Amino acid sequence: MKVWNVRTLVGLGALSALAAGLIACSPGAAPTPGSDGGPGVRLAGLIKVDGSSTVFPITEAVAEEFQRANRDVKVTVGISGTGGGFKEFCAGEMDISDASRSIKTAEIEECAKNGINYVELPVAYDGLSVMVNPQNNFVSCMTVAELKKMWEPEAQGKVLRWNQVRPDWPDQPFKLYGAGTDSGTFDYFTEAINGKEKASRGDYTPSEDDNVLVQGIAGDRNALGYFGYAYYQENKARLKLVAVDEKGDGRCLAPTDETIQNFSYYLARPIFIYVKTASMERPEIQGFVKFYLQNASMLVKQVGYTPLTANIYETGLARFSQKTAGAAYTGGLSPKTPLEQVYKK
């Protein structure tokens, strides 16, 4: 299944119109082959990207558009998970790493050991979404405490039925679907819900590919799972969104553009790309990343995520142009720290 709207538009024959709109509306977009490489430079080459399946729909949509304007550039985009992507990236095997969390201290050290420098660029906001099967008529909102009761390590083999989570729910077994252990989404969810990164029960169906999780939840009436907001947006007819009550006070909030951008939704977070500075010497990388940031607002919305402010995209362009190496969004910063505080011009 195609899970991002840009690719769906391909099948409908509407991508050309979108490309025309991008070119007309984006001052830095590539209207003709090679236009981002400078006067008289025709862009060509291979750009290698891997990492987060959450960020994948954005990067893939950007890659589709960029390649249409630059026929001699090939962009490959993998989905090995944020952790898997950083392993390849810090080994020097990738030009760009998609990440649904900021780079960790151990990954920073691994990159440094291998002489890999990079620029960190936020590209969108995500509201990590909790879903059940549409046939589930009793779950509409869950507290963080209830989610923890289902997902904490101590629940493995013990908390197996809905009425163990909330007594007035049915005495029926549930089945859990979630991110694989190489996923930044797994890291984020376990810390936000269980209080410690990577602390999770192991008896659930894991995958770094969110499409697998979509299919699992859609096909199992007793399923509950989580993944990025864009995958819910693209599969609304097959899934039922569960609101989250952060404090257990009855204030249930679902992810929306507003609740994600202002972080009032408990599982809101920024998502990133990391660009290897050595690769930035290549004109095709320069063109691609500039195109990415200049058109992100439109494409992020198109695939189902929440765009950043224009100021943050402009700041990202400045960081990229100035080769501002290193990670700003690390060192114990909360994922809910406003980006305007983290990235200053």
**Identical fold between 5-125+270-342 and 129-254:** yes
**Strands, DSSP E only, in 34-148?**
45-51, 73-77, 96-99, 118-127, 129-132, 141-143
Record the tokens describing residue 119, joined without a space.
């620029």
pLDDT for 193-237, tens place per residue?
Answer: 999 999 999 999 999 888 899 999 999 999 999 999 999 999 999
Q: Taking all residues of the chain, what is their mean pLDDT, rounded to a whole number?
A: 89
The conformation of residue 190, written as its DSSP 8-state character, comes to I
pLDDT higher than 60, residue 182: yes
What's the distance, CA 141 to chain centroid? 23
pLDDT higher than 80, residue 110: yes
What does the pLDDT read at residue 37? 53
Question: Where does 5-125+270-342 sit in CATH, by number?
Answer: 3.40.190.10
CATH class of 129-254: alpha beta
Q: How confident is the model at residue 344 (pLDDT cuts 50, 70, 90)?
A: confident
What does the pLDDT read at residue 8? 45
pLDDT for 8-61, tens place per residue?
Answer: 433 333 333 344 344 334 434 443 444 455 555 689 999 999 999 999 999 999
Give the span between the Cα atoms of 83 and 205, in whole angstroms.
Answer: 18
User: At 93, is the secondary structure helix, strand, or coil?
Assistant: coil
**Strands, DSSP E only, in 135-232?**
141-143, 175-179, 205-207, 223-227
pLDDT for 230-282, tens place per residue?
Answer: 999 999 999 999 999 999 999 999 999 999 999 999 999 999 999 999 999 99
Record the tokens describing residue 19, joined without a space.
């490309």
Sorted by where each begins, the domain ranges of the chain are: 5-125+270-342, 129-254
The average pLDDT across 298-303 equals 96
